[in-house]
Amino acid sequence: DARVTQTPRHKVTEMGQEVTMRCQPILGHNTVFWYRQTMMQGLELLAYFRNRAPLDDSGMPKDRFSAEMPDATLATLKIQPSEPRDSAVYFCASGWLVSTGNTEAFFGQGTRLTVV
């Protein structure tokens, strides 16, 4: 049963610390998304990659957030330094985009981040 795997599931960290969230997309998918979910803003796109190349990261605070795909099986989202307002659930999703349109994006279980 193919699924998107995110680690860690939960993370509590102190303000100012670096946080790295990892995502293993579904094998063969060529697009990876990072979303953040908060009560106030709902689900917001932070960044997305196609064929490992970053296509859009306009949703990320550039000074502290960075997203990478070192290889096709790993996507990372890093926050340095973390702040309390970064507390949220971070979702990774992957999908297969073809010339005729996109398929559904499959979501991981999310990383619940709490910055104290």
Partner 1 sequence: AQKVTQAQTEISVVEKEDVTLDCVYETRDTTYYLFWYKQPPSGELVFLIRRNSFDEQNEISGRYSWNFQKSTSSFNFTITASQVVDSAVYFCALSDARGSGAGSYQLTFGKGTKLSVIP
* DSSP per position, 26-93: PTT--EEEEEEEETTTEEEEEEEEETTEEEE-TTS-TTTEEEEEEETTEEEEEESS--GGG-EEEEEE
User: Among 84, 85, 40, 79, which Cα is nearest to 60's?
Assistant: 79
Contact positions with partner 1 (CB under 8 A) in 48-87? 48, 55-56, 58
Shortest Cβ 18–partner 1 spacing (Å): 24
CB 77 within 8 A of CB 67: yes
Binds partner 1 (CB under 8 A): choice among 19, 21, 23, 31? 31
Q: Which stretch binds partner 1 (CB under 8 A): 13-21, 30-38, 64-72, 77-85?
A: 30-38
Shortest Cβ 14–partner 1 spacing (Å): 24
Residues at the contact surface with partner 1, assessed by CB under 8 A: 31, 33, 35, 42-43, 45, 48, 55-56, 58, 89, 91, 93, 95, 97, 99, 101-110, 112
